[in-house]
Structure 1
Amino acid sequence: MELCQISGQLAFKSGHLPRNSVTRMTGAPDVKSPNRIFITGMGFVGQALAIDLKKQGWDVSGTCTSINKKKRLAEEMGFDMYLFDANEPDLATIDVMKFHTHMVVSIPPVTGFGDPMLQHEQLLRKALLGGNLQWLCYLSSTSVYGDCGGAWVDEDYPPNPTREVGKLRLAAEKGWLQLGQSLGLSTKVFRLGGIYGPGRSAVDTIIKQEALSKSQRMRGYRQFTSRIHVEDICQAIEASIRMSSSREIYNIVDDDPSPREAVFEYARDLVDRKWPGWIKQSSEKRESTETDKQDGLLGEKRVCNAHMKKELGVRLLHPSYRSGLQNIIDQMDKPFSTL
């Protein structure tokens, strides 16, 4: 995550706006809908959710850390955007959150720093107390379970993260649950599997013929990796908004925890059938190391999604990577590297 220092983006001070309205002042969102969502961290998932909800008539606001990205999301996509600097947060950006009815936190923790927003918990608590916020969801990761030897794990399985990223995620989960509960909000934690979707999938990696990242190489040694298509993340969030449930934590994964090798083999077959001859060389340009292998084997688990289906009523659009990858390639007219 980029931790830039940009201040003075908004001119109004905390507490200067009436509770039930937000006027157009230096970028503050107009209230057009009774449903108003604030998404911290408008990345891959945040943007997909924002686009989906905007189509349904929601007012959507969010944060990013780049001026160029703020301009694109605001001017080209029509969202009310605010710059968030974890080192020097603008009080007005935090203050505007309380004029929304729902909030999704989609900012990952940073090594050596922790959760960027929870570093300012007292500011958040003060700003959100007495506001309009009713529902809060923190997007976490199945990495909090650690290595389970390939066993099936559900939300009641004791988390035991083995890597630093998982430990930071678990700490962030606890922090957001405590904050939300103290404010009287309906608070949820969604533990997401490996996220994929259009522009971010095995199909995309093969078409672009890119070298694999360290995390991808590590996952190559696992017998099981749980995944989730971004469309199914969005529908799970929307289901949680619509219905009341007592459970606080949900696993958001598909039905088919599978080895990375099988996923890439299927993706290669899809690409080769649609564009014969496109794959000229292996996309796996970097040799995996013994450290990659050891780290990858520490994450073995199969993640159960039964509570998501039963309690949130989610019917997966893509219960397997096969459906998800087929849907992605069906939307492509030609390989993007030729566009």
Structure 2
Amino acid sequence: MELCRISGQSAFKSGHLPRNSATRMTGSPEVKSPNRIFIAGMGFVGKALAIDLKKQGWGVSGTCTSITKKKKLEEEMGFDMYLFDAYEPDVATIDVMKFHTHAVVSIPPIPGVGDPMLQHEQLLKKALLGGNLQWLCYLSSTSVYGDCGGAWVDEDYPTNPTREVGKLRLAAEKGWLHLGQSLGLSTKVFRLGGIYGPGRSAVDTIIKQETLSKTQRMRGDKQFTSRIHVEDICQAIKASICASSSKREIYNIVDDDPAPREAVFEYARYLVDKKWPGWIKHSSKQRESTATVMKDGLLGEKRVCNAHLKNELGVRLLHPSYRSGLQSIIDQMDKPFAT
């Protein structure tokens, strides 16, 4: 997807530049791209988005929590990185957000703390007021719907999270929408399904012959799990950036096929065995029974609808089903590996 540009606007005012960008510029007083994005939380999704946008000429900055990762993202990928500590935030890290035209928040809430950035809401508001930021997106989760008895749910379906993670997500959604609206920004919330992609999928788990965690085994009993490939998350974000006329604040970002976890792993085993016969020697590790796992309340059964993603943002999913997504992942692998 070719991204739109902000016509006639520079990403910076009064000649200010983010710290790292200024030091990297080779004597030129102007920034090449009028669009700059700040990604709070350069994790699996944030990193994929950063790589995608940088290829399209965007300036990219973001946060991480370790000096080692910061150095790697700066030196190997050319991003402008800042350390962020949820408990002792650097004011300069928050302040630099105002020099960007767009921002994506991809930091999960912390039990007992809530959203790590929103706990410094007044500091954020002061930093962003009068800055260049025009568009803000918070990456949430479909866990905010709670258990819906397997019903199809869209963005207007009542939220009723039963577990703490869902309650924290819902509180963060409301907080970011309120902050964005108070600053006059185009503010969006993306409720993501289960995220997967290269290096983070059922195929990877099987190839590494990893034992499923307690949480993974609990999910094995679910009849429906909505998923989304990281590539489709990236194209949804880009579509939203370009869809300036969109009035909707919240979008479900999921594929077309809410399927049981076991069905996904069965297909992943099939793909691995087809490409590398005999590699799966201990598949029982992935088949561990969920019977001995105590259920933690409701399983959150629901089928999440993505109609608004398609009809309003015009997104045509690259991977409408886990089958397409897993096939794409294994096609990119040259040989099996073990860790």
TM-score scaled by structure 2?
Answer: 0.91
Runs of 5+ in structure 2 lacking a partner?
A: 1-11, 26-30
Specify the alignment match of 2:184 in structure 1: 184
Does the aligned pair in 1 maintain the 2:220–2:290 contact within 8 Å? Answer: no
Specify the alignment match of 1:319 in structure 2: 320
Specify the alignment match of 1:281 in structure 2: 282
Specify the alignment match of 1:7 in structure 2: none
Specify the alignment match of 2:126 in structure 1: 126
Is it true that 1:142 corresponds to 2:136 in the alignment?
no
Q: Cα distance 1:26–1:242, how it changes in 2: closer, same or farther (>3 A)?
A: closer
Q: Quick one: percent identity of the two aligned structures?
A: 83
Does the aligned pair in 2 maintain the 1:211–1:285 contact within 8 Å? Answer: no
Does the aligned pair in 1 maintain the 2:214–2:293 contact within 8 Å? Answer: no
Please say which of residues 127-136 and 83-92 is displaced more in the overlay. Answer: 83-92
Specify the alignment match of 2:67 in structure 1: 67
Q: How does 1:171-210 map to 2 (within 5 A)?
A: 171-210=171-210
Question: After TM superposition, which residue ranges in structure 1, 4 or more long, deviate above 4 angstroms?
Answer: 24-30, 289-292
Specify the alignment match of 2:236 in structure 1: 236
Does the aligned pair in 2 maintain the 1:27–1:81 contact within 8 Å? Answer: no
For 2:16, which of 13, 18, 22 is the aligned residue? 22
Specify the alignment match of 2:308 in structure 1: 307
Aligned partners of 1:276, 1:26: CA distance in 2, in Å? 48
Task: Report deviation, 1:22.
Answer: 3.2
Does the aligned pair in 2 maintain the 1:224–1:301 contact within 8 Å? Answer: yes
Specify the alignment match of 1:248 in structure 2: 249
Q: Cα distance 1:263–1:285, how it changes in 2: closer, same or farther (>3 A)?
A: closer
Give, as a single letter, the amino acid of the residue that structure 1 aligns with 2:145.
Y
Does the aligned pair in 2 maintain the 1:28–1:96 contact within 8 Å? Answer: no
Q: Cα distance 1:316–1:280, how it changes in 2: closer, same or farther (>3 A)?
A: same
Runs of 5+ in structure 1 lacking a partner?
A: 1-17
Aligned partners of 1:199, 1:43: CA distance in 2, in Å? 13
Does the aligned pair in 2 maintain the 1:150–1:300 contact within 8 Å? Answer: yes
Task: Report deviation, 1:284.
Answer: 2.6
Counterpart of 2:173 in 1: which secondary structure? helix
CA RMSD of aligned residues (A): 1.6
Q: Cα distance 1:294–1:92, how it changes in 2: closer, same or farther (>3 A)?
A: closer
Does the aligned pair in 2 maintain the 1:192–1:251 contact within 8 Å? Answer: yes
Task: Report deviation, 1:292.
Answer: 4.3
Specify the alignment match of 1:266 in structure 2: 267
Aligned partners of 2:193, 2:200: CA distance in 1, in Å? 14
Counterpart of 2:338 in 1: which secondary structure? helix
TM-score scaled by structure 1?
Answer: 0.91
Aligned partners of 1:26, 1:312: CA distance in 2, in Å? 33
Aligned partners of 1:219, 1:21: CA distance in 2, in Å? 51
Task: Report deviation, 1:233.
Answer: 0.1
Task: Report deviation, 1:54.
Answer: 0.2
Aligned partners of 1:153, 1:89: CA distance in 2, in Å? 37
Specify the alignment match of 1:12 in structure 2: none
Task: Report deviation, 1:24.
Answer: 6.5
Give, as a single letter, the amino acid of the residue that structure 2 aligns with 1:284.
Q
Specify the alignment match of 1:165 in structure 2: 165
Give, as a single letter, the amino acid of the residue that structure 2 aligns with 1:335.
P
Counterpart of 1:336 in 2: which secondary structure? coil
